[in-house]
Amino acid sequence: MKITVSFQHLEHTPSLDERIQEKSQKLKKYMEGKIHAKWNCYVEDHQQFAEIELIGPKCSFHASAHSDSLYKSIDLVMGKLEKQLEKKHAKRKNKMHRKSERPVILDYESAWDDYEEEYKDVV
């Protein structure tokens, strides 16, 4: 996992860097392969902003948040990003299971005959 961090109008402190590294390592459980996490932290109008762009194989995600504290902003961003990743994971898992549930039609003509019989009285 490659992590890039940039700070604008902020001082880079080891504790901030450690917090970002710690939070980014949690993302490994959701994605496999080469992952690149780009963090951007900045101050604007007395608000602390944190943004992350997560780029992986065949997908990319983006989340941003702001609050009074940069640590809180980082936590909010991680919550948003984890929600996106869990949703993507659930969709992929559900799609795999739905493939086996599709009905198999061996004889197309008899399938249409059944359909016509059911709706013959309606028309």
Return the domain boundaries, the chain: 2-119
Report which of residues 77 and 93 the model is more confident about.
77
Matching CATH number, 2-119, of 3.30.160.100, 3.40.50.850, 2.170.150.70, 3.40.1120.10 = 3.30.160.100
pLDDT recorded at residue 110: 67
The 3-state secondary structure of the chain, one letter per residue = CEEEEEEECCCCCHHHHHHHHHHHHHHHHCCCCCCEEEEEEEEECCEEEEEEEEEECCEEEEEEEEECCHHHHHHHHHHHHHHHHHHHHHHHHHHHHHHHHCCCCCCHHHHHHHHHHHHCCCC
pLDDT recorded at residue 120: 61
pTM for the structure as a whole: 0.72
Each residue's pLDDT tens digit, 35-47: 899 999 999 988 9
Task: Answer yes or no: is pLDDT of 56 > 70.
Answer: yes
